[in-house]
Amino acid sequence: MSKSTIIPEKIKLNHIEVINTYINDDTINKNLNFEFNIAHNTKHNLEDQSIKIELFINLLSSKEIGVKFHIDFYFQIEDLQNHYELDKDKNIPVFSGQFIATLLGISFSTSRGIIYQQLQETNFSKLILPVVSPSKMLDMRIEDE
């Protein structure tokens, strides 16, 4: 796939929707070991030049204790046609990894702020999610059910 230059000014984040939130800090203590997981899914509308990034962020010590968020990000991309090639066999677009990683970086960075703010009135108030490489997040894609 040819690499097209990503022009930040042509990426517009139109809408953010927090779909699901789960926060259980009832029995939190300093000795809990949390496991951090992040996954994503992407959807697109080529005609509207739009991309939706769904992020699933989990920070759990057990099934009951922890934090889970599902946040959707709706992007409008002026030059979307420059960031994919059509798979001729399946007739579906294959997006550049660098392009999707850029959208993931914007989405996750924004999520960190949203989650930080929502945790301020909980026992997780000092929690700051780790920085994660967007290119590593590419491999953490989930398939639609």
Q: Rounded to two decimals, what is the model's pTM?
A: 0.88
Q: Name the token pair of 104.
A: 């993931």
Q: Which residues of the chain have pLDDT under 50?
A: 145
Residues 6+ apart with CB under 8 A from 30: none
Please, what are the domains in the chain?
Answer: 8-140 (3.10.420.10)
Contact 56, 38 (CB under 8 A): yes
Q: What are phi and psi of 11, to 5 degrees?
A: -105, 125
**What pLDDT does residue 32 have?**
67
Percent of all residues in the chain with a pLDDT value above 90, rounded to a whole number: 61
Query: Could you report the per-residue pLDDT of 46-67, keeping only the tens digit for each?
Result: 999 999 999 999 988 876 778 9
Query: Could you report the per-residue pLDDT of 26-47, keeping only the tens digit for each?
Result: 767 666 678 889 999 999 999 9
Give the residue among 70, 75, 72, 60 at the shortest CA–CA distance from 28. 60
- With 0-12 / 13-18 / 19 or more C-beta atoms within 10 angstroms meaning exposed / middle / buried, residue 75 is buried
Q: Name the token pair of 92.
A: 């579906």
**Which residue reads 């709706």 in tokens?**
74
